[in-house]
Amino acid sequence: MSGLAYYLPFIWAFIVILAISVYVILDGFDLGIGMLFAFEKKPDHRDIMVNTIAPVWDGNETWMVLGGATLFGVFPGAYSTLLPAFYIPIIIMLGALIFRGVAFEFRIMAHSPSHRTFWNTSFMAGSTLAAFCQGCILGGYVQGIHTSNGAFAGNPMDWLSPFSVLCGLSVVIGYALLGTTWLVWRTSDELEEQCRRWSKTLSVLMLLCIIAVSCWTPFLHAPYLHRWIAFPNILLCLPVPLLVALAGFLMWRTLDRDHAITPFLCTIGWFLLSLVGLAITIWPYAVPPTLTLWDVASPVPSQLFQLAGTVILLPIITGYSIYSYYLFRGKVTKADGYH
pLDDT by 10s per residue, the chain, length 339: 567 888 889 899 999 889 889 999 988 998 999 999 888 888 888 889 998 888 888 778 888 888 888 888 899 988 888 989 899 999 999 999 999 989 888 888 878 888 888 999 999 999 999 999 999 999 999 998 888 777 777 788 889 999 999 999 999 999 999 999 999 999 888 888 999 999 999 999 999 999 999 989 888 887 888 777 777 777 878 888 899 999 999 998 898 887 889 999 999 999 999 998 888 888 888 888 888 898 888 899 999 999 998 999 889 989 988 998 888 888 887 776 554
Contacts of 296 (CB under 8 A, 6+ apart): 75, 76, 77, 78, 81, 150, 286, 287
Exposure of 262 in the CB half-sphere (CA atoms within 13 A): 14
Rounded-to-integer distance, Cα 242 and Cα 103, Å: 41
Backbone conformation region of residue 285, classed left if phi is above 0, alpha if psi is from -120 to 50, else beta = beta
Measured CA to CA, the distance from residue 27 to residue 104 in angstroms comes to: 14
Q: Is 238 exposed, middle or buried (0-12, 13-18, 19+ CB in 10 A)?
A: exposed
